[in-house]
Structure 1
């Protein structure tokens, strides 16, 4: 006689039941059930949430539209296809004359580089070290000081210095200090530099900024110069209200619009950004797409270690066959012209996508109200009992499926027998099936515990 089969351990049996339950639940189908709850406070919450969502997608509060990104149909124009970052070209030209203590300066001398690109510098102050020749001389006192030759190692090179050390400790150009002797362009910069200020006439310099943009997606191009006569640019100056298509700016106007003091900026140097913004709604006429200018300082003026702007260059020549140069440390105002923008035009695809997103988001109101009902309402158990029903289909096939299929598909002609009308045959089949089914009791009462009072 076969031995009795040993029962499975409790954990294994529980795991099997869980696996069967998960596998059975995988094939379940969920369909929404509509329940009307007559509660004014809950209804007010539901309609308020719906209204806020609609306002969000149709229009946005003015504060949000100005302080941050604009998120909505009318303000952001979500019904449009958009393109950011236009293709852009920039040509600049500076005009003006200024003077220092002993010299007149023209554009060729105080504008660097002279090509007229989107980034250029206007020199406003210089420190000149004239007549430098290759030889040996004391190093700058800011690099290193010494007391004897032992402090200066021959052949040593300091990356912050001006040349190669010779191994001698020599007196500085002036004073009682000593520095290491170096082989370099002599005298070094700190030893004989002379400062000259060029900013006296600089506020009256004029800057022409010629800009043209192109949005390839929409095949749209435009420039920032008005279609006027040839002498138009000789007599116009930019004015945001009366002459927005004259791209000629005074340097003093740019610095003032950036909120800076010209005298201080000219002495220490700095970087000013000229931002040109092309935001174009191409559903409107071309005349509505206009450049908007803004100005601001780009270098951190409140950080002493990184504020200001300067650079060096040299001019070379020969005296009695000896190569000589003049070293110039230039302080100035650097202008960075920055172009950005966005163009938009109506397109059906983004319109459909954003409409679908808006309609889907309205369902947040139902989710919030369901959460309130199931969590905080006094009759939350009654609501849960009515909201969630579980219907199990019989394992054996029912004879009512032809009727159900006919009702769903509307194919009533399948039941048309010998001269009997389709509606009569379906009704007869349905009534016969109902008579064969045993009566079933509804699992839930009609109004359990005062559902109508929710």
Structure 2
């Protein structure tokens, strides 16, 4: 007698049915249900939201922001500067080699407009400056010998000596004497400074688009020797007068020359490379960069010294310089049409139009008088079995529509006969009020939908 063949386990059979059901459902096509609501106010809201979204994308995103372009910010840049002019003070004539620091002609440089000179300083002993804290004294006991104050002028000797003028006394120090406050002389260089000319030579390069350009016109007739910058007539003559720069920054030149300050020359290269290269032009703007209205840190000054020998001893002239520092700042952005950002922004625009549908659905199902009727028309309710008739794969297959529905009634009456099961899926109970614009043939259409949930009979 032949041995009976072993039956496959129930779990394997259920898994096979689930796999076949998922494979079959993979090739199904689903489409949303469309309901037309004849309501003028809701329609106005829907079209208004769509119009606002379209205006935002068409005007701001595509026209103003030019989001159809691939862009690059921060061009590679080089700046070369050169100052020309001559001025004088109460004691001497100054040329460009003396009042421009540093002389290399970079993007940051200073033009000295006032100096405080302490001449003939030598290494020795002298009274400390009264501006140094704890420098005032009455007797030698007030001065600690070999004390070094980081904000002072030298190493203290321990003696209390009379100050340079007046009856005050300060501690004696060993250092460069006399100290700055005791013998400094002020000189003003700003009388002719407004007429100084500054050449700012700038060239930029956008590596992504292989685009380069400079701010000087290519002419061989000595154009730069006789021109100055004018935004309309000479935009490619980058020669600016110092007085013009200070005026455009909104500052008073005499006041700025006495206290010093920092002026920014901003060159902006915004280029639309879909147009010709002649449309890509530099735009200049000027503004003060240092905190003008903060007394503790306003103004600009620095110190330097000139060294020489007198009778074999080291001597120096200390100069505290006040001036106008120029910072040349270059920035910009270039853009050119590219298919990828265009497609991305178009897809974003088309997707954003759906916000109008979401908003109107929320109004329709929340605030409208017949919101329950609209909800019944919009959503179909499907009966699910009260008990699981098998393992979870079978239940999932039932939901996917790949197995016959279980003989469970949709109604709550437990005594109802199972001989005539309700249709699958079964609708919720009909609402008490009907829509005014529902045609007379709607019930028959609903009946056919209920008996044929997938609508295959109408295809």
What TM-score do you get using the length of structure 2 for normalisation?
0.79
- Aligned residue for 2:108? 119
Alignment of 1:173-212 (within 5 A): 173-212=164-203
Query: 1:25-57 CA distances to partner (integer Å, 9 max, x unpaired)?
Result: xx9x99643222111111111111111111111
Question: Aligned with 1:207: secondary structure?
Answer: strand
What is the alpha-carbon distance in structure 2 between the residues aligned to residue 31 and residue 448 of structure 1?
29
The answer to whether the aligner puts 1:240 opposite 2:231 as a matched pair is yes
Alignment of 1:203-222 (within 5 A): 203-222=194-213
Q: Which moved more, 1:31-40 or 1:197-206?
A: 31-40
Query: 1:350-376 CA distances to partner (integer Å, 9 max, x unpaired)?
Result: 011111111111111112112222222
Distance apart, 1:140 and its partner CA: 0.6
CA 1:187 to 1:439, structure 2 compared with 1: closer, same or farther past 3 Å? closer
Which residue of 409, 421, 427 maps to 1:443? 427
Distance apart, 1:271 and its partner CA: 0.3
What is the alpha-carbon distance in structure 2 between the residues aligned to residue 135 and residue 97 of structure 1?
37
What is the alpha-carbon distance in structure 2 between the residues aligned to residue 303 and residue 278 of structure 1?
32
Q: Contact between 2:303 and 2:320, CA under 8 Å: does it hold in 1?
A: yes
The answer to whether the aligner puts 1:47 opposite 2:34 as a matched pair is no
What is the alpha-carbon distance in structure 2 between the residues aligned to residue 151 and residue 122 of structure 1?
43
Question: Aligned with 2:359: secondary structure?
Answer: helix
Which residue of 101, 117, 120 maps to 2:90? 101
The answer to whether the aligner puts 1:92 opposite 2:76 as a matched pair is no
Question: Aligned with 1:102: secondary structure?
Answer: coil
- Aligned residue for 2:254? 263
Question: Aligned with 2:47: secondary structure?
Answer: helix
What is the alpha-carbon distance in structure 2 between the residues aligned to residue 293 and residue 238 of structure 1?
10
The answer to whether the aligner puts 1:352 opposite 2:343 as a matched pair is yes
- Aligned residue for 1:66? none
CA 1:177 to 1:444, structure 2 compared with 1: closer, same or farther past 3 Å? same
- Aligned residue for 1:309? 300
What is the alpha-carbon distance in structure 1 between the residues aligned to residue 366 and residue 423 of structure 2?
36
Q: Contact between 1:93 and 1:208, CA under 8 Å: does it hold in 2?
A: yes
Q: Contact between 1:38 and 1:452, CA under 8 Å: does it hold in 2?
A: no
What is the alpha-carbon distance in structure 1 between the residues aligned to residue 279 and residue 291 of structure 2?
36
- Aligned residue for 1:10? none
Alignment of 1:316-331 (within 5 A): 316-331=307-322
What is the alpha-carbon distance in structure 2 between the residues aligned to residue 452 and residue 377 of structure 1?
14
- Aligned residue for 2:415? none
Q: Contact between 1:258 and 1:272, CA under 8 Å: does it hold in 2?
A: yes
Question: Aligned with 2:232: secondary structure?
Answer: coil
- Aligned residue for 1:223? 214
Give the count of matched residue pairs: 382
What is the alpha-carbon distance in structure 2 between the residues aligned to residue 308 and residue 397 of structure 1?
82
Distance apart, 1:284 and its partner CA: 0.4
Alignment of 1:359-398 (within 5 A): 359-391=350-382
What is the alpha-carbon distance in structure 2 between the residues aligned to residue 147 and residue 188 of structure 1?
20
What is the alpha-carbon distance in structure 2 between the residues aligned to residue 181 and residue 200 of structure 1?
39
CA RMSD of aligned residues (A): 2.5
What is the alpha-carbon distance in structure 1 between the residues aligned to residue 246 and residue 221 of structure 2?
29
The answer to whether the aligner puts 1:73 opposite 2:57 as a matched pair is no
Structure 1: state its 5+ residue gaps: 1-26, 61-71, 402-435
- Aligned residue for 1:278? 269
Distance apart, 1:379 and its partner CA: 1.8
Q: Contact between 1:314 and 1:326, CA under 8 Å: does it hold in 2?
A: yes
What is the alpha-carbon distance in structure 2 between the residues aligned to residue 349 and residue 443 of structure 1?
47
Distance apart, 1:450 and its partner CA: 3.1
